[in-house]
Chains A and B, each alone.
Chain A
Amino acid sequence: MNKPFPPGDILAHSPFAAFLGVEMDESDGAHLYRLVERERLVGNVQLPALHGGAIAAFLELCCAAELARVAGLHTPPRPISINLQYIASAGPVPTFSKPQVRRIGRRVAVVHGEAWQLGPDKPICAAQCEFRI
C-alpha cells in the first residue's frame, strides 16, 4: 500500500503535513520541526489560540518523521497511542519541536516530543507517542 521512500522524507510525502504546514530545518545540524504560522490553524478566534487538534497533529507528525529518520524507516510508522498534555495556550505564531526517540524495539518505538513557541524552556504541549514499526 505504501511505496517505500527515503528515510527522513516522510513530511515531503504527506499531503496532510503539507496542508497542516509542517517543515523541517537541518540548518544548525539538529533537526528542528516547525509548524508554519497560518490563520487556519486557529481554534479560538477571540483569544486567539491555536486549535488543540492542530498542535496534536503537529506533534504526532514530528514524532513520526523523527522516528523514520533515526530508525531509517522506508515506510511510515503507524501510531498506536498518543498522550497529549497541554501546558500553556498557544498563540498564532510559529511553533517548534525537537522530538526525542526514546526506544526503538523490534515492533514498537517510543517517541517524546514537546512543542514550544517563545523558547524550548516554555513548552505549550508535550506528547508521548508509541508507534508500530
Chain B
Amino acid sequence: MTSRPEMLNRVTPWSDALALEFLTISSDCAVMRQPWRDDLAAFEDAMLLASGAIATLIDQACGMAVMARFDRQVVISTLNLKIDHVRPAATASSVTVEARCYHMTRNIAFVRADVWDTDPGALVAAAQGSFAFRRHPSS
C-alpha cells in the first residue's frame, strides 16, 4: 500500500461533512469508511444508515480508486452508477467500502465496489460504475 497524502488533503466538502474516513489506497483500489452518526439515520428511531450516505461513500471511493491509478491529479466525473442494496447494515454500525478500478481506457475508468458493515464476506451493498476523467487544470 502506498500512502498519498496529497489526496487526503484535497477538499471535498460533502465527504468532509459526512466525515468519511480514508483507510487505505493501493495502485487501483481505495478503502473508505463511513462512521455511524445519528444524523445519518434513514429514519428517526431506526438506527439504520441512510442508503444515500452509502451512495456517497461508494461514489467517493470509486473516484479515489480511479485517482489511485495516476501520479498526478485528475478531475473525475461519474457517468453512471448502479447500486444494489443487498441487505440493511447492522444497527448503528459504520460501513466500509472497497472500490477497485478494474479497467481504464484513454478517458473512461470502470470501477466495482463492495460495501460491508462487520464482515467483508457479508455484503451490505455492491456497486458498479463508469467514470470519465481528464487532467486537472493545475497539473
Q: Which residues of A contact B (CB under 8 A)?
A: 1-3, 10, 13-20, 39-47, 49-54, 56-58, 60-61, 76, 78-86, 89
Contacts and interface: CB of A to CB of B under 8 A. Distances in A.
A54 B56 contact: yes
Contacts of A10: 43
B128 to A, nearest CB: 10
Given A51-B13, A56-B52, A83-B81, 6 more contacts: A2-B43, A45-B13, A51-B14, A56-B83, A76-B43, A84-B80
Contact of A52 (B38, B44, B59): B59
B14 to A, nearest CB: 4
Which label, helix, strand, loop or mixed, suits the secondary structure of the A interface?
mixed
Contact of B81 (A51, A52, A61): A52
The 8 tightest CB contacts between A and B, nearest first, are: A57-B52, A53-B56, A16-B50, A51-B14, A53-B59, A56-B55, A40-B17, A52-B78
Interface in B102-130: none
A76 B85 CA distance: 15
Give the interface centre of A46, A52, A82 by most chain B CB atoms within 10 Å: A52
A51 B50 contact: no
B51 interface: yes
A85 B42 contact: no
A79 B56 CA distance: 15
Given A51-B14, A53-B59, A80-B85, A15 B53 contact: no
A14 B43 contact: yes
Given A41-B14, A42-B13, A43-B14, A57 B56 contact: yes
A52 B40 CA distance: 17
Contact of A82 (B12, B16, B82): B82
A50 B6 CA distance: 21
B58 interface: yes
Interface string B64-86: 00000000000101111111110
Contacts of A89: 77
Nearest to B86: A80
A32 B47 CA distance: 28
Contact of A56 (B39, B42, B56, B88): B56
B92 interface: no
Contacts of B57: 53
A49 B83 CA distance: 22
B15 A43 contact: yes
A19 B40 contact: yes
